[in-house]
Amino acid sequence: MNLALFDLDNTLLACDSDYEWGQFLVVRGVLERGEYEAQNAAFYEQYKAGTLDIHEFLGFALRPLAEHAPEDLTRLHAEFMDARIRPAMGAPARALVRRHLDAGDLCAVVTATNSFVTGPIAREFGVPNLVATEPERVGGRFTGRVAGTPCFREGKIERVDDWLAAQGRKLGDFASSAFYSDSHNDLPLLELVTQPVAVDPDEKLAAEARRRGWSVISLR
């Protein structure tokens, strides 16, 4: 069995689901446009630049989950899937996932975006495992805080290691381990797998992939 790990935002998806979730809530009138939209855009620019403080961002991104009942969030997410996500799930990305599943590989989406937003998306792609930032819940409701280590940069390595350890495995057990990502923020995990693949990469990752001779593909 081989291992196939997929980043989600701007990799399998032709959008950033975290950013789009915030924008969707603004359009639906759940969040005020002015301040939230500006902050959402600013954090997204920091992410692309590699300067994002993940804990500061999560304090912002998880707050709407704490302010609404779970049943309301579930209803909104179903609308979000139709409005923003399914149109960004291209046939090449679906085919890539299907090839790995058909080969019998152990597959997981590994994403910094929280599991409330990304769980239904991973299931829509048919990926059976999700390694994501976990929002804290108490009494069935979100608190607005993060539970455990955010699945971001080096945190992705820790979270993948923990996920594999729960199955009695480790990364080195796999003769072939692939990780698909668009972002230079994922260099720590890309450096550890046997098959790092840059997918429609940002400028920093594209340069690094050229320097190291990594595969570069497009799913657009």
**Which position among 7, 16, 105, 182 bears the catalytic label?**
7
Residue 159 has pLDDT above 90, yes or no: yes
Of the two residues 128 and 48, the one the predictor is more confident about is: 128
Give pLDDT, residue 170: 97
Residue 32 has pLDDT above 90, yes or no: no
List, in order, residues 6 or more apart from 211 with CB less than 8 Å away: none
CA–CA separation, 163 and 100 (whole Å): 19
Locate the domains of the chain by residue range. Answer: 3-217
pTM, 2 dp: 0.95
Query: Token match 């495992």: residue?
Result: 129
Cα 113 to chain centroid distance, Å, stands at 5
Residue 35 has pLDDT above 90, yes or no: no
CA–CA separation, 132 and 110 (whole Å): 6
Give pLDDT, residue 99: 98
Residue 9 annotated as catalytic = yes
Which architecture characterizes domain 3-217 according to CATH?
3-Layer(aba) Sandwich (3.40)
**Which position among 9, 16, 18, 105 bears the catalytic label?**
9
Closest residue by Cα to residue 8 from 131, 105, 95: 131
- 58 by DSSP, 3-state: which? helix
Which tens digits make up the pLDDT trace of 174-215?
A: 999 999 999 999 999 999 999 999 999 999 999 999 999 999
CA–CA separation, 84 and 17 (whole Å): 8
Residue 16 annotated as catalytic = no
Residue 36 pLDDT level (bands cut at 50, 70, 90): confident
Helix H or strand E encompassing 165: helix 154-165
